[in-house]
Amino acid sequence: MMKQTIQIFARVKPPERKQQQGIYSIDEDEKAAPSLEILLPRDLADGFVNNKRESYKFKFQRIFDQDAKQDIIFEIIAKPVAQSVLAGYNGTIFAYGQTGSGKTFTITGGAERYSDRGIIPRTLSYIFEQLQKDSSKIYTTHISYLEIYNECGYDLLDPRHEASKLEDLPKVTILEDPDQHIHLKNLSLHQATTEEEALNLLFLGDTNRMIAETPMNQASTRSHCIFTVHLTSKEPGSATLRRAKLHLVDLAGSERVAKTGVGGLLLTEAKYINLSLHYLEQVIIALSEKRRTHIPYRNSLMTSVLRDSLGGNCVTTMIATLSLEKRNIDESISTCRFAQRVALIKNEAVLNEEIDPKLMITRLQKEIADLKAELAMATGEWRTEALTEEELHQLEKLIASFLEDQDPESRLEVGADMRKIHHCFHHFKKLLNDKDSMKNTVSSTTTHQACQEPLKDEEHTKLRDLLKQRDNEINILVNMLKKEKKKTQDALLLSYMEKSDARLPRNSPFIPGSPAAQSTSVPSAPSQAQDLSICRHRSSLLHRKTGMREEMSLGRQEAFEIFKRDHADSVTIDDNRQILKQRFSEAKALGESINQTRSKIGQLKDAITQRHLQQVALGISENMAPPSIPDLQEEKLRSQLEEEKTRYKTTFMRLKALKVEIEHLQLLMDKAKVKLQKEFEVWWAEEATNLQVNSPATNPQEHLKPVPQQDQPQILLRKSSQGREAKDGVSSLDICYDRDARRILPSPCPSQHSQEPSSSRTQLQDSISERPMSSIPLTGDSQTDSDILAFIKARQNVLQKKCLGSN
């Protein structure tokens, strides 16, 4: 049992603006625990009713200042909890703090850089690495991802997320068994056999969360997310199962309704925006007060789910995230106060062991059968019916293994069944008789041989050499067999890589035929299948949920391209694309180096075998026994072989790590793309509605009105995919909503995108950019019209920005 209070850590986020001096200080010198002192600026301190304090001091297990990197956070905070979980204890890490203080950054990680990955991906990586190392147990890992929004639970990994709105999905509800254990109905568990599979599940959940969010409902700041790793372990042959859960929790923003600031009531009476957090606070208060017996866990879904983590069977850690700027001082003090209360809560973590019911039943059945037989013997009621075929077969097997067993202490256990005991005696009698008759035959043969001439010494040596030669041949054959086996494994791996990495760029080091593909270990068949299905699921999700670019009309695609180019995230996507390219070429180089090392190893092995054969052959031809000291040249070859093997191992590990990084970067890029496309869809819908409402041309009659030639930018709608012809009155080709649009539409100011100056084009562009939207003739087809308007708007926005930028 591990008795421990909840560990509390603080992490200060780097400021968005220039650092304000003197708002806080960290005292690391204090021996027991470092302390964080928050200093109230004079103007704020005066505002606190009945409170002239100018500073507040809080103790934490450890305080991480602004420059603390994600790897340190993992090492100090998450790794010990992960280690407890691997040992069979439950673990929880939760981040608590106001909106924007860095909870998601700490728990999941930043969306930009690989080095920014947070506690979840790093913990997954660590856990799978440890599982791989430990062959003494059989482990099974499952993942679940729960979101609690407005006191309702949603399964972020529910495949129906694709097709349904959040509200339409079945809610996750609590079931409590008679032992007061909590079970969650409608929360799916997904097996993950590798780190990559687990990361894909994390990505799926995050994407589902992002997609369900609307501008009206910024769920990410108001919802709680609980990513859980369920780990089961068992020693081979044992009936005892160990189950442990690791909850990684990103809570909603902890800000309060009454952000009174100077006004006063703050810190004591202010109410949480979030009901679940309010109930969480009540549970924490109840737990931290010694005399309280009733803890109101049942009040909310979140406190019910986290029941074990708070005052129960769990190793729990809290990270207080702080955005220590002047405007956030009140919230920061609240967060620290909350943490101090949490630190008083004692948990008792126990190993969660249970007996595998199937194995237990078999064991008990056997025990019952044995006891029945013993009873029958004791009461003299022997069973008289003949042993069945199956029973006889089992008995023969038992006898055979008993006879084969070299251990003199071994026993033949047949239970208290006289029929079986009799059968054993019969068997042994028969064996004894057979042995006697064999002895007679053998002794007559040996007498006959003894009469023959004794074998000559020379013949002995020859036979011995022949034996050695055969040994060598066998060795060579075994090596050949090993090589063939390796080739088959490589072929399997290639086909796996071919499927799973079909989305990697052409120069991917993991594509079939590339060196790296031949050197990675072969994943198990079920894992491949699941992996592939997750990848497919991920990309289909990307397309379906975000309006699918291939389904966009051409105008909309064009507008999307402009929107994308102008979006702040496009820089991140481009940066990551560059890094990804670099990583690919690094991986390619590593793959090539691995391939070279592999062939070198093969050559060295061949050379060693040859050298060995030569030595043996020499011995045979010169009729000499092989030398007892090792051959020097062979020794040299062997040490070279060892060096190459070490090089192979190191390069292979580097390639493996690089592959994880590449996968992660791809996930980040996918995520950024989903976000971008989602934002575009929102913008598009808004713009189309606004423009259609404002534009007189939305009147179906309006577009038929003749427009004076000189006033009118003439528009040709060439929807090539539909083969639709240009409409009357809008027939000359000035603006074209196809792939050539950017070539035909010039910018009003010189830009990188339009390098061909043309006076007529400039005129045209001027007329478009200056013209109110309402004067642009439309087609009457609402879909097409919204394409036109949104496109022109997007284009104008970009052009205006560019002009501003260049002026």
Ligand X SMILES: Nc1ncnc2c1ncn2[C@@H]1O[C@H](COP(=O)(O)OP(=O)(O)OP(=O)(O)O)[C@@H](O)[C@H]1O
**Site of tokens 């990804």:** 580
In Å, the largest CA–CA distance within the chain is 130
Q: Give SS3 for 233.
A: strand
| Choice between 323 and 698, CB closer to ligand X | 323
Q: How far apart are CA 303 and CA 338, in angstroms?
A: 16
Which of 659, 636, 486, 523 lies closest to 583 in space, CA to CA? Answer: 659
Which of 648, 514, 521, 522 lies closest to 587 in space, CA to CA? Answer: 514
Give me the least distance between CB of 251 and ligand X, in Å please: 8
| Choice between 145 and 791, CB closer to ligand X | 145
| Choice between 100 and 729, CB closer to ligand X | 100
| Choice between 32 and 568, CB closer to ligand X | 568
| Choice between 221 and 595, CB closer to ligand X | 221
| Choice between 26 and 532, CB closer to ligand X | 26
Give the residue nearest to ligand X (CB).
102
Q: How far apart are CA 179 and CA 165, in angstroms?
A: 35
Give me the least distance between CB of 84 and ligand X, in Å please: 25
Give me the least distance between CB of 253 and ligand X, in Å please: 4
Q: Is 758 annotated as a binding residue?
A: no
How far is residue 583 from each of residues 499, 500, 506, 624, measured CA to CA in Å?
20, 18, 13, 57
Q: How far apart are CA 268 and CA 257, in angstroms?
A: 12
Residue 535 is inside which H or E element, if any?
Answer: helix 525-545
| Choice between 102 and 713, CB closer to ligand X | 102
Q: How far apart are CA 130 and CA 123, in angstroms?
A: 11
Give me the least distance between CB of 323 and ligand X, in Å please: 8
Q: How far apart are CA 277 and CA 346, in angstroms?
A: 20
Give me the least distance between CB of 100 and ligand X, in Å please: 5
| Choice between 121 and 253, CB closer to ligand X | 253
| Choice between 117 and 719, CB closer to ligand X | 117
Pairing of strands 353-355, 240-250: antiparallel
User: What does the block give as tokens for 749?
Assistant: 């100011």
Exposure class string for 410-446: b at 16+ Cβ within 10 A, else e: eeeebebbebbeebeeeeeeeeeeeeeeeeeeeeeee
Q: Is 205 annotated as a binding residue?
A: no
Q: Is 66 annotated as a binding residue?
A: no
- Residue 526: count other Cβ atoms within 10 Å of its Cβ: 10
Give me the least distance between CB of 127 and ligand X, in Å please: 23
Q: Site residues (CB under 6 A) for ligand X? A: 13-14, 97, 99-105, 110, 220-221, 253, 321
Give me the least distance between CB of 199 and ligand X, in Å please: 19
Give me the least distance between CB of 203 and ligand X, in Å please: 17
Q: Is 104 annotated as a binding residue?
A: yes
Q: How far apart are CA 308 and CA 182, in angstroms?
A: 9
Q: How far apart are CA 156 and CA 207, in angstroms?
A: 9
Do residues 147 and 224 make contact, with C-beta atoms less than 8 angstroms apart? yes
Q: Is 547 annotated as a binding residue?
A: no
Q: Is 102 annotated as a binding residue?
A: yes
Within 20-114, strands assigned E span: 24-27, 35-39, 55-59, 62-64, 91-96
User: What does the block give as tokens for 780?
Assistant: 């009457």
Give me the least distance between CB of 8 and ligand X, in Å please: 17
In the annotated binding site, the residues are: 97-104
